[in-house]
Amino acid sequence: MSAEGIDAHDLAIAVNQLTTGGGTLPSTDIYASLLQCAVGSTFDLILLLDVQGHIRYCSQNSYELVGLPDKQAVGKSLRELIYPTDRSIVDELLAELVEGIQTAAKVDVRLRSEGDDEQFLWVQISATVMSNNDSSDSRAIYVAVKDISQVKHAEAQIQYQLSHDNLTGLMNRVQFISEVDAAIAAANIDQQPFMLLFFDLDRFKIINDSLGHDIGDRLLQAIAQRLAGAIDVSGVLARFGGDEFGLLLPNAHSFQLGQQACEKILFLLSEPFSIEGYELSVDTSVGLAKFPDHGSSSVALVQSADIAMYHVKENGKNNYAIFDASMNKDRFAQIQLEQELRRALAKGELEVYYQPVVSLVGGEIMGVEALARWNHKRLGLMEPGGFLDLAEEAGLVADLDSFVQRKAMQQVIQWHALGHDIFVSVNTSAAQLNQEAFTASFEAMLSEVGMAPSKVKLELTEKTLIKSKQFIVDQLSYLRDLGVGIAADDFGTGYSSLAYLRDFPLTSLKIDQSFVRDIKDENDTASLVDAILAVAHGLGLSVVAEGVETVAQIRYLLARDCDEAQGYIFSAPLSAQDMQAFLANNRAKNLRQENFSDA
């Protein structure tokens, strides 16, 4: 502190007066100089007010905070400097001090920028009553005004971050729940119901896994933007995390309005999004819940909408459903099943079934496809249709894949030892294929198990192959160069495009059973099968027909040079034990001799 203008002696007197006077206001000039000196050294604005709240003294730095030179500030009332909506706070503060309810107090208020009621500056006002004796006339109020705009700005930023989703800028779950709480409070007063939607994108995970998180993030942003621009102004849209969103419609008092909103969301998201050259479309499952019928608290209401959304997912997806109490049970069962699957996987309790792949010309068993089975305590032997989606939603599918792959390889090696020189075909998912270390761990698995790469085929479905992603192409090329076969599974379904056949390092193609099913007799013109066979052979790929069930189908395929077939006519998938017996009997070969000794 610069003691300019005051000598040490005067300073000592002033300090003495202050300390021995019990905080009462000394009336000397020295004190005034001391005060001047003290206030000159602080960034705060210092004011002395009379009990009416008029400024009697103002420090010289007033211009920076209130836009007034100190001389002009003197004589004004403090409330004139305050932003209009905050004036009552200051009035109350001064009243409490003057009435003796408090001797000192602090409040955060906004100062009004001179001449502009829209502009303000956040300050903290600390006020202290100072009195010489008990008569009210000699009391004064010491006020320090501190600029806290930076603190407030930081607070607002933190508040924003705590209440919003970083990626999309939408509200987050926490804030959404408090908005729902507010809507419930309002609805309880005006006795009006309202609607709440919960929705989840059906194929987002596939997009994220196959095209990468950057594209996934961009898609989420585009979705948020499209929705935010289209929903009713009173609607509150939030991202709960992942691909889950909530929409609160406090003004939708009827199911009809709620349903319209569901349809609008389905419609809005059905239009493809164009992201970095990809045309991406997402399906959406929407659950609708009504306050108060489906939950009297925010959490219960969101949960009901979530349950309704899951119901849609279970029943074909890309639709909406209104919550119904009977859905509760299903969702609970679902969660339980997910936990059981997690445990079964951890304990290695999943099983592998094997289905023979047969040469159409010779009828020999060329290989087996490994198919996951889950032998569930209550539900019995479950096929992948009953748990694969669940595994995918729960992020377990990559582990499931490698479990099945390893177990199948170990098994087939034993069959090699028994003299059956067969390949093993294993399925993979987008999630597994997208793991950075996939090729390395697959190669490690081959050598740990002692399996020749040339005896292994990796089956990919077309949804794994969404467009050509260089990373996946590289992974697959690496494996193919090792000798691993790469098969396009279920060809013709999903994102069907002949471009995949050229872009990906495939060695074979499996015609989906839906096309094979269309072949009714051997002279049929099942043109799609013909076209697939022609294109595949043109590219040097071998072709496997899936789901072959009749002799007519075998003959048809044989006539068109289809290489191999798989289907119930040879055998349904079998347990390891049954498959071993099947191999031993070489039943497939016998079957062929019985069925087309004339072919």
Residues that bind Mg ion (CB under 5 A): 427, 459, 489-490, 546
**Given the complex with Mg ion, which of 459 and 564 has the nearer CB atom?**
459
165 vs 564, beta carbon nearer ligand C2E: 564
Minimum CB distance to Mg ion smaller for 81 or for 404: 404
Name the nearest CA neighbour of 382 among 413, 418, 353, 411.
Answer: 353
Both tokens assigned to 22: 């019990």
Question: Which of 26, 367, 485, 547 forms a contact with ligand C2E (CB under 6 A)?
Answer: 547
* Residue type for position 253: H
Q: What's the CA gap between 166 and 67, in Å, rounded? A: 37
Is there binding between residue 549 and ligand C2E (CB under 6 A)? Answer: yes
Is residue 209 within the footprint of ligand C2E (CB under 6 A)? no
The rounded distance, in Å, linking the Cα atoms of 16 and 18 is: 5
Closer by beta carbon to ligand C2E, 44 or else 459: 459
Q: Tell me: does residue 430 bind ligand C2E (CB under 6 A).
A: no
86 binds, among ligand C2E, Mg ion, none (CB under 5 to 8 A by kind): none
In the complex, least distance from residue 444 CB atom to ligand C2E, rounded to whole angstroms: 18
Residues 128/104, Cβ–Cβ less than 8 Å: yes
Nearer to Mg ion, 165 or 490 (CB): 490
| Residue 355 near ligand C2E by CB under 6 A | yes
Binds 265, which of Mg ion, ligand C2E, none (CB < 5 to 8 A, cut-off by type)? none
Min. distance of Cβ 253 from Mg ion in angstroms? 49
Q: How far is the CB of 427 from ligand C2E (least distance, A)?
A: 4
CB of 250 to ligand C2E, least distance (A): 43
CB of 370 to Mg ion, least distance (A): 9
Nearest-approach distance from CB 568 to ligand C2E, in angstroms: 4
Quickly tell me which residue has 């032997």 as its tokens. 381
Instruction: Choose from Mg ion, ligand C2E, none: what does 388 bind? Cβ within 5-8 Å by kind.
Output: ligand C2E
Closest CB to ligand C2E among 96 and 393? Answer: 393
Decide if 113 contacts 101 (C-beta within 8 A): no
CA-based torsion, 521, 523, 527, 533: positive or negative: positive
Q: Per CB under 6 A, does 384 bind ligand C2E?
A: yes
Output phi, psi for 128, to 5 deg: -135, 135
Q: Which long-range contacts (CB under 8 A, 24 or more apart) does 273-280 make?
A: 273/219, 273/222, 273/223, 273/226, 275/215, 275/218, 275/219, 275/222, 276/215, 276/218, 278/211, 278/215, 278/466, 278/467, 280/207, 280/211, 280/215, 280/219
Do 442 and 479 meet the contact criterion of CB atoms below 8 Å apart? yes
Name residues contacting ligand C2E, limited to 388-417 (CB under 6 A): 388, 397, 400-401, 404
Site string for ligand C2E, 250-289 (x = CB under 6 A): ----------------------------------------
* H or E stretch at 460: strand 456-461
* Range in contact with ligand C2E (rule: CB under 6 A) among 40-48, 195-203, 258-266, 426-434: 426-434
Q: Which does 563 bind (CB under 5 to 8 A by kind): ligand C2E, Mg ion, none?
A: none
Closer Cβ to ligand C2E, 285 or 429, answer by number:
429
Tell me how many residues contact ligand C2E (CB under 6 A).
27
Q: Is 395 left (phi over 0), alpha (psi -120 to 50) or beta?
A: left
Tell me the closest approach of the beta carbon of residue 563 to ligand C2E, in angstroms: 17
Size of the chain, expressed as the number of residues it contains: 599
User: Residue 428, exposed/middle/buried by CB under 10 A (0-12, 13-18, 19+)?
Assistant: buried
Does 383 engage in binding with ligand C2E (CB under 6 A)? yes
Among 298, 513, 550, 553, binds ligand C2E (CB under 6 A): 513
- Cα gap 416→404, rounded to integer Å: 18
Choose between 357 and 446: whose C-beta lies nearer to Mg ion.
Answer: 357
DSSP 165-220: -TTT-SB-HHHHHHHHHHHHHHHHHHT--EEEEEEEESSHHHHHHHH-HHHHHHHH
User: What is the distance between the alpha carbons of residues 543 and 537, in angstroms, rounded to a whole number?
Assistant: 8
For ligand C2E, which stretch binds (CB under 6 A), given 211-219, 336-344, 382-390, 442-450?
382-390
Q: Which is nearer to Mg ion, 320 or 504 (CB)?
A: 504
Minimum CB separation of residue 283 from Mg ion in Å reads 22
The residue among 534 and 572 lying less far from ligand C2E, judged by its C-beta, is 572
Please give the single-letter amino acid code of residue 328. Answer: N
Supply the minimum distance, in Å, between the C-beta of residue 567 and ligand C2E.
Answer: 3
Q: Considering the rule CB under 6 A, would residue 573 count as an interface residue with ligand C2E?
A: yes
Considering the rule CB under 6 A, would residue 492 count as an interface residue with ligand C2E? Answer: no
Helical ranges in 234-374 per DSSP H = 255-270, 298-314, 327-346
Query: Which residues, at least 6 apart from 163, have a Cβ–Cβ distance to it below 8 Å?
Result: 171, 172, 174, 175
Which phi and psi angles does 337 have, rounded to 5°? -60, -40
Residues of this chain that interact with ligand C2E (CB under 6 A) are 355, 371-372, 383-385, 388, 397, 400-401, 404, 427-429, 459, 461, 489-490, 513, 546-549, 566-568, 573
